[in-house]
Chains A and B, each alone.
Chain A
Amino acid sequence: MSEDLVATHVLEFPGGYTRTTGPVIGRFLTELRDRRLVGVRTAGGRVLVPPLEYDPDTGEPVTEEYVEVGPAGTVQAWAWVGSPRPGHPLDRPFAWAMIKLDGADTALVHAVDAGSPKALRPGLRVRPRWRAATAGHITDIECFLPEVASLVAPVRAEYRVTPGRALTRFLEGVRDGRFVGARCAECAAVYVPYRESCPACGSVVEEEVEVADTGTVTTFAINNLPDPRAPEVPFVSAYVLLDGADTPMIALIGGVPAHEVRQGMRVRAVWVPPEERTLSMTNVKWFEPTGEPDADLDESSGGGA
């Protein structure tokens, strides 16, 4: 079978070719060994990097003026190498890029170690990473690296949070399946949750009142973005004005498809079982429709909407 007639054949000149550089490339590589990047100026004034012995546009010889360029440069174009081969300069995914070194008029091809193709864009600023030992070869530059343009700054603050007396009083009520409000003696308005001063007149509130766990949806949003506290998407967050309260609270609406919720809809709190309750609003699973006729919103005051 022909499959049997396959052999590996290596063509490799022993020791490698000895390639002469000529004066121009030689100067470039000599400078490279000293960790400097140079280009050569053409008669027309352009700086070629890597240098050539002639101006590729005109065929005329270049001048003898060498110009130090870089070491930083700008990526003009690139090709991403997702699976590097053995002969490649890096053993992890990288980009072959056209890099225009600062002060040069032409681009140099080299590898960019950018981590991800998303990190590459035209105009990306890069700098060379030199090998520990240089030899006068283009691989004296192991690769180019993006310049440092941002850093990660972790910030973490940890607090001990206490709800305060008024909110504790309200949450105690919620634990017991009741909504506790505060009536301002001056304004006669009932604030839910319970609070100890009136936001309208500043009076100290002395009267605690219990309001119903039924109320009216004054207005709402249908949220199409997921939220860990909502059972599904879309979900409805609504302003619910509890019967007997003058300020609404924002709450989840459940037990009804989102697009069937209406302004004026009558709702009732759905409480979690008493044994599962804590000092928190999670005791109210959500509000669900009572089935009563809708309230007339133009007659109810407050509303919060």
Chain B
Amino acid sequence: MGNRCAVIGVGQTRYQTRRRDVSLAGLVREAALRALEDAGLTFADIDAVVIGKAPDLFEGVMMPEAYLADALGAAGKPVMRVHTAGSVGGSTALVGASLVQGGVHGRVLVVAFEKQSESNATWALSTHLPFNASLVVGAGGYFAPHIREYMRRSGAPDHIGTLVAVKDRLNALKNPYAHLRIPGINREMVESTPMLWEPIRYLETCPSSDGACAIVLAAEDKVTGTPAWIHGTAMRSEPIMLAGRDVVSPRAGRDCAADVYRQAGVTDPRREIDVAEVYVPFSWYEPMWLENLGFAAEGEGWKLTEAGCTALDGDTPWNASGGVLSSNPIGASGLIRFAEAALQVRGMAGEHQVEGARLALGHAYGGGAQFFAMWIVGSSKP
């Protein structure tokens, strides 16, 4: 795993439908400056900057990393861009961490963002290139069949998705940065919203958000402030078109989890990981990933959700921040998971703090559930 590396600063913008008041540069600076302030540093203390975001077509700014370099204090420093679809925020953190773990840099600023309001994600993801052999459908249309197959295989009752939709929004009420904060959210409210891509209802999907997230990573001898130590990092990918591919529980996700657990010495994730921030853009992905990540046996994930185990006061809280279901600036969504995991073990998660959290999982996935990025962070050194 290389040299020790810690998260020493976290900065987030408020996530909302439309940030009318800032440019792209202003948006990323807001997160970056908050992360630097948290670490007690300035741009001058940073050795390299890593930027992540989803497709350029979202904002129509090609290679925004070039345009944003000096807005992030990167003049005269290495700057690079990461792109792994929806998992990009997580991959960006891992690329930043690898620069520290490999001994290349002492302090790295990692920033991920999306300003979805500048266009429309469904448009940007469904460009309808000529000569398609398959019907191209948006993200909801793509994932809904996998959810249906999960329900068939596991025999999960229909209301499990609703429970997650409510639970994550209840958590969001405790997170000042969350986009969707719906007072009085309950099952009736979720169930009264229309089916978009059956079996996915409107309130079982994530919002479209503007926002940015930033973290400062440091080598052991450069740590300032309160560190969240990295105990394991892993990325995996798999082809979207593969014979025998299990899209309900992709092998890349299982392998990625096994790798990150091995590095962190985790053998029983449900008991050893105090809080998990897992990429759940559609509510049913909570039980699906509970199984894929080994928190529950195959076909049993929904039982943990139903029993309230993943609630903020449950035995294995998932998405205490409200998760992707409550805030989704796509390119930043993975980094928010990683950053929230760090905040938890630093004891700095505020009202949604899981009491005494010492070990936390950050998770992101993207594409057609093809790209996975995970890390485990802890309050003590690995």
Chain A residues closer than 8 Å to B130, beta-carbon distance: 161, 163
Q: Are the CB atoms of B243 and A191 closer together than 8 Å?
A: yes
Q: Are the CB atoms of A149 and B21 closer together than 8 Å?
A: yes
Chain B residues closer than 8 Å to A238, beta-carbon distance: 145
- Take A223-B197, A224-B195, A224-B196 as given contacts and tell me if A149 and B20 are in contact as well, using a CB distance cutoff of 8 Å: yes
Chain A residues closer than 8 Å to B248, beta-carbon distance: 305
- CA A93 to CA B247, docked complex, whole Å: 55
Instruction: Tell me how far the C-beta of A274 lies from the nearest C-beta in chain B, rounded to whole angstroms.
Output: 20
- Take A222-B195, A224-B196 as given contacts and tell me if A229 and B239 are in contact as well, using a CB distance cutoff of 8 Å: no
Q: Which residue of A lies closest to B148 (CB)?
A: A219
- CA A171 to CA B152, docked complex, whole Å: 34
Q: Which residue of B lies closest to A304 (CB)?
A: B247
Residue of A155, A246, A279, A297 near B60 (CB, 8 A) is A155
Q: Does B271 contact A (CB under 8 A)?
A: no
Q: Does B194 contact A (CB under 8 A)?
A: yes
- CA A173 to CA B140, docked complex, whole Å: 30
Contact with B along A181-212 (1 / 0, CB 8 A): 00000010111010000011000000000000
B194-230 residues with Cβ-Cβ distance < 8 A to A are 194-198, 200
Q: Does A301 contact B (CB under 8 A)?
A: yes
B32-79 residues with Cβ-Cβ distance < 8 A to A are 60
Residue of A221, A224, A263 near B194 (CB, 8 A) is A224
Chain B residues closer than 8 Å to A305, beta-carbon distance: 145-146, 148-149, 247-248
Q: Are the CB atoms of B133 and A153 closer together than 8 Å?
A: no
Chain B residues closer than 8 Å to A218, beta-carbon distance: 145, 149
Chain B residues closer than 8 Å to A227, beta-carbon distance: 137
Q: Does B297 contact A (CB under 8 A)?
A: no
Q: Does A48 contact B (CB under 8 A)?
A: no
Instruction: Tell me how far the C-beta of B292 lies from the nearest C-beta in chain A, rounded to whole angstroms.
Output: 14
Q: Are the CB atoms of A219 and B243 closer together than 8 Å?
A: no
- CA A171 to CA B132, docked complex, whole Å: 9
Q: State the total of A-B contacts with C-beta under 8 angstroms.
A: 112
Residue of B129, B140, B146, B241 near A199 (CB, 8 A) is B241
Residue of B60, B135, B200, B239 near A237 (CB, 8 A) is B135
Q: Are the CB atoms of A301 and B135 closer together than 8 Å?
A: no
Q: Does B192 contact A (CB under 8 A)?
A: no
Q: Are the CB atoms of B239 and A199 closer together than 8 Å?
A: yes
Contact with B along A207-235 (1 / 0, CB 8 A): 00000000000111111110101000010
Instruction: Tell me how far the C-beta of B191 lies from the nearest C-beta in chain A, rounded to whole angstroms.
Output: 15
A159-183 residues with Cβ-Cβ distance < 8 A to B are 161-163, 167, 170-171
Chain A residues closer than 8 Å to B241, beta-carbon distance: 191, 199, 247
Residue of A155, A189, A190, A219 near B145 (CB, 8 A) is A219
Contact with A along B224-259 (1 / 0, CB 8 A): 000000000000000101111101100000000000
Q: Which residue of A lies closest to B248 (CB)?
A: A305
Q: Does A84 contact B (CB under 8 A)?
A: no
- CA A191 to CA B242, docked complex, whole Å: 8
Residue pairs across A and B with Cβ atoms less than 8 A apart, 13 shown, are: A170-B133, A187-B243, A189-B243, A190-B243, A193-B133, A200-B239, A221-B137, A221-B145, A223-B196, A227-B137, A281-B134, A304-B247, A305-B149
Other 10 A-B pairs with CB < 8 A, given A223-B197, A305-B145: A153-B60, A155-B60, A191-B241, A218-B145, A221-B144, A227-B137, A246-B244, A249-B134, A250-B135, A305-B248
Closest 9 CB pairs of A and B: A189-B243, A221-B144, A305-B149, A222-B198, A163-B131, A246-B243, A219-B145, A199-B239, A193-B133
